[in-house]
């Protein structure tokens, strides 16, 4: 039977980052990932990194390319009622955010792990976690047609919302909190310059729209869509028309269209499980909590979990102290709930929930208030750039 100190399930950003930080601190680990390397590296998801996430990637010695290629954004704009209001993140909080795609974060981490000779198994099938309520958890999986068994001290469940780890915890040991939203986001990626040099979040009577980017030559746009929407119903021309209708005229006129290189639909949900630890199994990132993408918090929250867990594991292996491991769930959940609240609030003021005009008028009043109140804008800005870690 093979052995490691920490078995990490999932090679998304949380699994890869945890693996790299543990490795740099002399802690042996194996990462087991169900999908192929190409699939993991190609998944288009997050685009906005908080400064704390940037710093953790640098600490993981996986931030060199990010520093040279990221776009630092000092503000974002909120568009509504035909106008747009800039939220000056830097002036309001002293902080900025970085635009650098999750695909690039993942590629950099895979490269760093591979260069260090990591045991990073892609296409690991039928991963099963067992005996994690004992001091010697086991992980079984199939790789290259052979069955393997791994013995470890800890299991990190970094396997996302649909992963096996959370589902392996006995029913009744976890409490789940969930809110689904009656809509999704239809997103496209296109090699065209962005409409504006900063992100624009737009509230419109027809539904939400977001102008984002990956670089000054690659744009990422989203429009709110119905949950049962089919991609086939959205040829590029229809997407561009719908996007422009939902933006103030001046911004719509600046949208440069082109063929999409990716198009996908994502449902929106808020989801949290408690606690994040069961015996020697720890839940991390999307396996533990999901937020709607409006606040750009999911990947940042995953990184924040990793930050707490790797420090706790380092402390355990250096000193045998278990107090930080014991506090992992409480510390990570506190930050998670703050992000759940912010993402829910931002989602609720920007999206169309019903045809009820009262709701839309309320949203417009809230946005009107926000745009005239430094206190309200500061509240938005400090959540958007990421709350301090002491909180
Ligand atoms: P995941 O990325 O889901 O990784 C989990 C990994 O585990 C996957 O590779 C999966 O294949 C693997 N796995 C699953 N099951 C198994 C199994 N049984 N065995 C082995 N491996 C398994 N967040 C932000 O911070 N900012 C943003 O701007 C932002 N925008 C977003 C936009 C969209 C459209 C979406 C959908 C999400 C966005 N997010 C954003 C959220 C962010 O992408 C996620 O929070 C992030 O991917 C979580 O990382 P993770 O490693 O925890 O989970
Ligand atoms: C993205 O660029 O994919 C993106 C940006 C901001 C968000 C969500 C997604 O809030």
pLDDT digits (tens, 9 = 90+) for 9-27: 999 999 999 999 999 999 9
Instruction: Return the SS3 of 30.
Output: strand
What is the DSSP pairing of strand 175-190 with strand 218-225? antiparallel
Check residue 286 and give its pLDDT: 98
Give the span between the Cα atoms of 188 and 211, in whole angstroms.
10
Strand order in the sheet with 289-290: 83-87, 76-80, 200-202, 209-215, 218-225, 175-190, 260-274, 289-290
Instruction: Return the SS3 of 35.
Output: coil
Please state, for a pLDDT cut of 70, what percent of the chain lies above it.
99
Give the span between the Cα atoms of 335 and 386, in whole angstroms.
10
Where residue 189 falls (left for φ over 0; alpha for ψ -120 to 50; beta otherwise) is: beta
Cis omega before residue 275 (within 30°)?
Answer: yes
21 contacts 305 by C-beta, under 8 angstroms? no
Q: What angle do CA 347, 236, 244 make, to 5 degrees?
A: 55
Q: Which of 100, 141, 181, 201 is catalytic?
A: 201
Nearest residue (CA) to ligand 1, atom 37: 45
Check residue 69 and give its pLDDT: 97
Interacting residues of 39 by C-beta distance below 8 A, sequence separation 6+: none
Check residue 196 and give its pLDDT: 98
Check residue 263 and give its pLDDT: 97
381 contacts 199 by C-beta, under 8 angstroms? no
For 155-164, write each residue's pLDDT tens digit.
999 999 999 9
Atom in ligand 1 nearest the alpha carbon of residue 13: 51
Q: Is the pTM of this model over 0.85?
A: yes
- Indicate the top mutation candidate among 212, 223, 291 to test ligand 2's pocket, ranked by most ligand atoms within 8 A of CB: 212
Give the span between the Cα atoms of 319 and 364, in whole angstroms.
55
Check residue 390 and give its pLDDT: 65
Q: What is the mean pLDDT of the chain?
A: 97
127 contacts 34 by C-beta, under 8 angstroms? yes
For 73-98, write each residue's pLDDT tens digit.
999 999 999 999 999 999 999 999 99
Please report which confidence band the pLDDT of residue 389 belongs to, taking 50, 70 and 90 as the band edges: confident
207 contacts 288 by C-beta, under 8 angstroms? no
Binding-site residues, ligand 1, Cβ < 6 A: 9-15, 32-35, 40, 45-48, 102, 124, 127, 158-160, 162-164, 185, 187, 266, 285-286, 293, 296-300, 302
Higher pLDDT, 391 or 196: 196
Report the range of poorest mean pLDDT among 35-44, 79-88, 178-187, 190-199.
Answer: 35-44
Give the span between the Cα atoms of 106 and 57, in whole angstroms.
11
Binding-site residues, ligand 2, Cβ < 6 A: 46-48, 199, 212, 220, 293-294, 296
Give the span between the Cα atoms of 76 and 201, in whole angstroms.
8
* pLDDT for residue 391 is more than 60: no
For 277-318, write each residue's pLDDT tens digit.
999 999 999 999 999 999 999 999 999 999 999 999 999 999
Give the span between the Cα atoms of 154 and 18, in whole angstroms.
13
218 contacts 189 by C-beta, under 8 angstroms? yes
Looking up tokens 């918090």 gives 297
Q: Which ligand is nearest to the CA of 289?
A: 1
Interacting residues of 356 by C-beta distance below 8 A, sequence separation 6+: none
């Amino acid at each position: 039977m093979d052995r490691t100190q920490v078995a990490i399930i999932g090679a998304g950003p949380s699994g890869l980052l945890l693996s790299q930080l543990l490795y740099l601190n002399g802690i042996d680990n194996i990462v087991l990932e169900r999908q192929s390397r190409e699939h993991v590296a190609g998944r288009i998801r997050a685009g906005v990194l908080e400064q704390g996430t940037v710093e953790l990637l640098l600490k993981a010695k996986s931030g060199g390319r990010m520093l040279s290629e990221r776009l630092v954004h000092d503000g974002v704009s909120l568009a509504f009622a035909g106008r747009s209001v800039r939220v000056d993140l830097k002036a309001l909080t002293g902080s900025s955010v970085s635009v650098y795609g999750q695909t690039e974060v993942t590629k950099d981490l895979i490269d760093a792990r591979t260069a260090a000779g990591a045991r990073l198994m892609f296409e690991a099938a039928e991963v099963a976690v067992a005996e994690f309520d004992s001091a010697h958890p086991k992980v079984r999986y199939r790789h290259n047609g052979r069955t393997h068994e791994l013995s470890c001290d800890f299991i990190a469940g970094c396997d996302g919302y649909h992963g096996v780890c959370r589902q392996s915890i006995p029913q009744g040991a976890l409490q789940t909190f969930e809110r689904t939203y009656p809509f999704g986001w239809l997103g496209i990626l296109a090699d065209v310059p962005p409409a504006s040099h900063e992100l624009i979040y737009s509230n419109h009577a027809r539904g939400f729209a977001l102008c984002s980017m990956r670089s000054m030559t690659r744009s990422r746009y989203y429009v709110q869509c119905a949950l049962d929407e089919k991609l086939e119903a959205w040829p590029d021309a229809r997407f561009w028309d719908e996007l422009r209708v939902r933006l103030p005229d001046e911004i719509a006129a600046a949208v440069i269209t082109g063929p999409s290189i990716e198009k996908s639909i994502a449902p929106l949900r808020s989801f949290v499980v408690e606690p994040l630890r069961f015996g020697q199994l720890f839940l991390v990132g999307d396996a533990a909590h999901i937020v709607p993408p409006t606040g750009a918090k999911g990947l940042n929250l995953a990184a924040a979990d990793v930050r707490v867990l790797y420090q706790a594991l380092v402390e355990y292996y250096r000193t045998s102290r278990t107090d930080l491991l014991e506090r992992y769930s409480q510390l990570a959940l506190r930050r998670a709930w703050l992000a759940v609240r912010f993402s829910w609030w931002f989602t609720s003021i920007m999206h169309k929930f019903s045809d009820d005009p009262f709701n839309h008028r309320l949203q417009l009043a809230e946005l009107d208030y926000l745009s005239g109140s430094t206190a309200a804008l500061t509240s938005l800005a400090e959540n958007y750039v990421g709350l301090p870690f002491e909180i």
